[in-house]
Structures are given as structure tokens and as C-alpha cells.
Structure 1
């Protein structure tokens, strides 16, 4: 009789329960996931490795393994693991692998992987589903085991492991991203304490990860709201265009009296994967002078809105209406309307009077 590879109703109930038990935000996620795996499914043991930069399994989590076998694998067997991506042979179209996919049982029984590791746990058969990242590169694996009393893994069990792999792949991606961010923030918080000036931390795509209090204070002094979305606008509308145009890591923005910006690359080594990633630290130096604070406070006192304060800042620095429109991504007519409102609230009629007022305010505050 041909064996059915169809999953039962109980299988799907267990898959749903297993999926619901996972917490990828838990630092012990991989350990608890493998413990839950053995609660819901009839395997004798489980392992959850990650893939290092050389294609071998490292940072393993084990369930039902003896300390001797774990030590042996870490010391002698990891490069000799048949299932490691660096050692995989052709098995196109498959997501679940068993030893038959790669070698003979005779070779398997004489290998250090079996004799020094699996043997000590009473394991003989191994089945594995490879997990991949967003770029379809090997990320890790979920491996399960049976003892000699079993006849191996049935087609149904392999199908079950395939479903488990799809659940674990998604959860593992979330877990590693979360863990990476937490590790980075610990590192970045140490940087914050060393640099008591405005600082914004971004990933390799300049997506903001962290902002310190000094950066928010700088934004408020510029007439901007102390919010992450405003920091994003400061970054995308002002800092990055100036950085791209000038090509220098240190420059001054003609923004509300001037803002010195310094960009620094930070190379961080991931503790889990061992790979190196790039982060950007953007420092906002507000110590160039107190005139900006005085001018901003004066504009607030006169009842100018945030946008009007931005326009007034550019006008006081000699920017033309067209340039201001480009900087703020608004139309020239909108700039003109803001300009009229600024002149009315500040009781001036032309740019020269605004410049004179700017100097008087800075000298008197």
C-alpha cells in the first residue's frame, strides 16, 4: 500500500498551536521553540542552528542532547555536518532533507557526526528543513531526530516538517531582526553617553533607528516638532541632499541660522550571525552660537507658525523664494503667502528690515 503524505486534522491543529506558542521577541526564542516543537510533534530530539558566513552551522540550540554530544559537535563535527549548506549536494526542488539525499548509511555510520554526536543521544535518523532569509540565502535550519527503533521519517512527517519550516522561517526572520536591533541599541546607547550633542542613528538605508534627547531639543530650536517624523523630514529634506551634493562628512546647513552636521559610519558586528553591518551616526552640533535659539524664541513669541518660522529663517539668511520653495518642497506661491504673513507678524516690509531685525534680536537676547 502506498504511504500517504497527507496531513491529518490533528496535524493541522498541532501546527496552529505550535505557531501560536512562538514568541520571536523572546531572547530565548530558539530554545523555547524547539521545546514546544517536541511537545506538539512526535520527534525524539531537535536542534536549531544558524548558518555562519562560511556556510556551516553555528550557534546551535539543542533539545534532548547530552552535554558530551553538544561539546563534540561544536569542537569536531560542525564542518563535517552533511546537512550544512557548505556541504549540501544537489537536491533541487526539495526543502526537507534526510541522510539519503547526501550519502550512504555506511558512510554516515562511520562519520564523526554520528559516532561522536548523535550516537550519544540514541539518535540515528535525522531530517532537516533549511530556513532562508529575505534574499533566499541560508539562514539556519530546524533539524529533528528519531532513534533506531524508528524506520526513519515517513512522507507525512517530512510534509509536517516542511510546514514547520515555513512557520519557523518567518518567526526566525523577525527574531533575528529584533535581536539585532536590541544589540545595536545597547551599543548605540553607549555612544549617546559619550556624545552629549544631537545624534540620530540610521541603518544602512538611512532609516532612523534611534534619536537622543539633544537631537529633539535641536529640532525644537529649529522650529520643528520633537517627533520622529520631523526628524525623518530633517534628514531626507535637508541633511541627505546636502551630504549628497557636497560629498563631505561635515557641513553646515543654512537652516534657521545654521546647523553643523557631521556624519560618521559605524561598523557593528552581529553577535548572533558574526556578520558586519553598517550604521550611520548623524551628529547635530547646536553649539555654533546662541543666536538661533534667540531668533526662534522671538518668532514663537510673535506667533509665527512652524512653517512661517522656517520661511523666516531662510529669508533671514538671504534665500530667494524659489530656493525656499525647493527646500521646503512647497510651491513658490505658498512661500509668498507665508512671507506676507511673516512680514505682517514681525511688522517689516522688506528683506533688509527682516535682516536688521534678525541682528537686533540676536544682540539683545
Structure 2
């Protein structure tokens, strides 16, 4: 019987059902997607790698792979994968690849990719569709496998894989953005807990992602509504123009008496894709002619020396001992001694109690 070189009605039906089964917001999206892929289509194995920042396939999800082959790929075949974008010798117009696009089967059988990885699963033929991001850069791939009993991938199967790639490309973009948001919010929330001062978190376009409680209190003190709209107004009408004009990430806002603003950009590495993205943190706090004077006066009243007051201020900003030592050009042991002395004089036992005390003094004004 002659093999059909076109997609059938059942193929399109399975593509529709497969597409509807995908949930890119699920943390296990890639694993579930590959399980469903083998459920609706007659491939014998599947893998879903992402492209790391070096151009190789990493963070693989496997279906029907043995533990031995998985370990071998991660250990020995990471940079020896014929299909990895870093190993592409030229730019291909096509999106679906097979071994014949890259090498001979003699070289393929002698490779560690086959002998140490695919061989353990009974796989021989591999076909892959490359997935790309919004900038047309390699993002990941969907790979499928047949055993030696097969004659390879037919034209119909390659067309089918191309349609699967179109579906998966859209879904994986959504999935990675979702993971990126979750990872970034986790990272940024940790910063929130370290800084008991007003803080507004923004993405690379200065769109506000989160605002902490202290920032809302400062907005109310300025006579503004404690919401994102007025926070956006404060950011775009006052903070950003002042930063651009002054060319500094620290400024004193004239919009309200005694308000200092610090703008810091943070480079965050996404755990999944390995990409670096920019986030901005806007710190709001009373200036030296306002609540800070009361806090300083309180520390002085408690017998803290000038250096201890400086260390205490940095501790309240969430700085680590090493960071404080670098800022003040003193040794780590000196910072530790100052910290112990501060705790004794203020009758606190840990950093969280110091932060609570600091906030209490500020809120009492």
C-alpha cells in the first residue's frame, strides 16, 4: 500500500483534540504535552528540550526514555546533539528535521547520542521540529522517535509534526512567560520582605507589577489614592523624569516634603530559559529631615555609636553582612561585632525584630 503524503481527516481531528488538551499554565505542561502527543499520534517516544543560553538543548522532558539514557544525555550528549541550534552549520528554511539533514547514518550510529542514549530506548529514527520565540530565535523543540522496525519518518508524519510544532510554539511561549512571572514574583517578593520601606516593583517597561503596604501608606500621606493608578502617576510624572534629568538612581523628590526615592535596576536570570531580564525597584522612604531624624535620635538615645547607627540603617534596608562590610569598607568581623552590639543595646535577638522596631518608630511619627 502506498503511503499517503497528505494529512487525513483523522490527523486533523487528532491535532484539534491534542491542541485542546494543552494547558500552558500548568507547571508540568511540557510533560503532559508529551504524554498527550504519544496518546494521539503514533510515535514511540518523545522529548521536549529548551535551548539554554549556550545554544544547546537542556531542561529536557522525556517520555518513554529509560533512566540510563536520560542520565547519559545530560552527562555525555549535551553538546553532541546533532539537532542543537549551537551545532547547526547553516540556516535552514525548513522547520522539521531528520538525521539526513545533518549527517550520514554511519556517523549517527557511531555517535554517543545514539550509542549511549537512544539505543537504550530502542529508538533509531529521530525527527524534530524547532520552536522559536517572538524574535525568531531558537526556543526549544519537540522531538519524536521511531524504532528500527520503522522505515523512518514519512512525508505525512513530517507534515504532521510541522502542525504539532505550530501548536506547541504558541503554547510554550505562554508557558515560559507564566513561569517567568512566577519566578520573578517569587524573587521580588523576597525583596519585599527584606525592605520595610515603601517599594514599587516594575518590569522592563516600568509597568508596575507589585506595590507593598508601606508604599501605599506613603501614597496616602501624599494625598494620593492607595492604588496602582496613582502609583503609576507618581512614577511617570515625578520619579522617572527626575531620574532622567538628574542622571542618578538616587533623588530627592520635591513633590512632597521629606520624601527620598531610590531607583534600582535588577538583572534577573530566568531559571527555565537562562535568559537575563531587567526589573526595577523604586524605594520610597522619608528623608533625613523627617522620620529618619527620629530613628537616628532613637538610636543615639539607646547609646549606639555613629558606626553602629550606620550598620543598623543598612540592616534595616535588608543588606547582608558582606554587603555592609563593602559599603563601609570594614571587615566582616567588625560588622558582626557591631551587629551584636546593636542587638544588645536595642534588646532584639534577630533581624526581623530590628525591622519591626524600625517600622514602629517610623509609624509613631
Measured against the shorter chain, the TM-score band is: 0.7 to 0.9
In structure 1, distance between residues paired with 2:10 and 2:91: 30
In structure 1, distance between residues paired with 2:238 and 2:42: 59
Does 1:41 find its partner at 2:41?
yes
Q: Secondary structure at the match of 2:79?
A: helix
Match runs of 1:298-309 below 5 Å: none
Q: Tell me how far 1:2 sits from its aligned partner.
A: 7.5
Does 1:188 find its partner at 2:188?
yes
Q: Tell me how far 1:206 sits from its aligned partner.
A: 1.7
Aligned length: 292
Q: Tell me how far 1:233 sits from its aligned partner.
A: 2.0
In structure 2, distance between residues paired with 1:13 and 1:216: 52
Q: Tell me how far 1:289 sits from its aligned partner.
A: 6.2
Kept in 2: contact 1:91–1:101 (CA 8 A): no
In structure 2, distance between residues paired with 1:163 and 1:232: 42
Residues 6-47 of structure 1: CA deviation (Å, up to 9, x unaligned): 211211121111111111111111111111111111110000
TM-score (norm 1): 0.76
Does 1:54 find its partner at 2:54?
yes
Kept in 2: contact 1:125–1:148 (CA 8 A): yes
In structure 1, distance between residues paired with 2:90 and 2:153: 20
Match runs of 1:86-105 below 5 Å: 86-90=86-90, 92-105=92-105
> Which residue of structure 1 aligns with residue 70 of structure 2?
70
Q: Secondary structure at the match of 2:260?
A: strand
> Which residue of structure 2 aligns with residue 7 of structure 1?
7
After TM superposition, the structure 1 stretch with the greater mean CA deviation from structure 2, 8-17 or 221-230, is: 221-230
In structure 2, distance between residues paired with 1:19 and 1:290: 59
In structure 2, distance between residues paired with 1:140 and 1:242: 42
In structure 2, distance between residues paired with 1:237 and 1:149: 68
Kept in 1: contact 2:258–2:289 (CA 8 A): no
Residues 344-365 of structure 1: CA deviation (Å, up to 9, x unaligned): xxxxxxxxxxxxxxxxxxxxx9
> Which residue of structure 2 aligns with residue 142 of structure 1?
142
Residues 35-65 of structure 1: CA deviation (Å, up to 9, x unaligned): 1111111110000001111111111010000
In structure 2, distance between residues paired with 1:141 and 1:132: 8
In structure 2, distance between residues paired with 1:224 and 1:36: 51
TM-score (norm 2): 0.76
Kept in 2: contact 1:198–1:286 (CA 8 A): no
Kept in 2: contact 1:249–1:264 (CA 8 A): yes
In structure 1, distance between residues paired with 2:47 and 2:36: 12
Residues 233-260 of structure 1: CA deviation (Å, up to 9, x unaligned): 2211111111101111111111143521
Q: Secondary structure at the match of 1:25?
A: coil
> Which residue of structure 2 aligns with residue 356 of structure 1?
none
In structure 1, distance between residues paired with 2:22 and 2:290: 53
After TM superposition, the structure 1 stretch with the greater mean CA deviation from structure 2, 76-85 or 8-17, is: 8-17
Q: Secondary structure at the match of 1:54?
A: coil
Q: Tell me how far 1:164 sits from its aligned partner.
A: 0.8
In structure 2, distance between residues paired with 1:138 and 1:176: 14
In structure 2, distance between residues paired with 1:20 and 1:223: 49
In structure 2, distance between residues paired with 1:199 and 1:91: 46
Residues 277-307 of structure 1: CA deviation (Å, up to 9, x unaligned): 222111011466669xxxxxxxxxxxxxxxx
> Which residue of structure 2 aligns with residue 276 of structure 1?
276
Unaligned runs of 5+ in 2: 292-364
Q: Tell me how far 1:208 sits from its aligned partner.
A: 1.8
In structure 2, distance between residues paired with 1:7 and 1:289: 75
Kept in 2: contact 1:146–1:152 (CA 8 A): yes
RMSD (Å) for aligned C-alpha atoms:
1.8
> Which residue of structure 1 aligns with residue 339 of structure 2?
none
Runs of 4+ in 1 over 3 A off after TM superposition: 1-5, 286-291
After TM superposition, the structure 1 stretch with the greater mean CA deviation from structure 2, 129-138 or 281-290, is: 281-290
Q: Tell me how far 1:221 sits from its aligned partner.
A: 1.9
Unaligned runs of 5+ in 1: 292-364
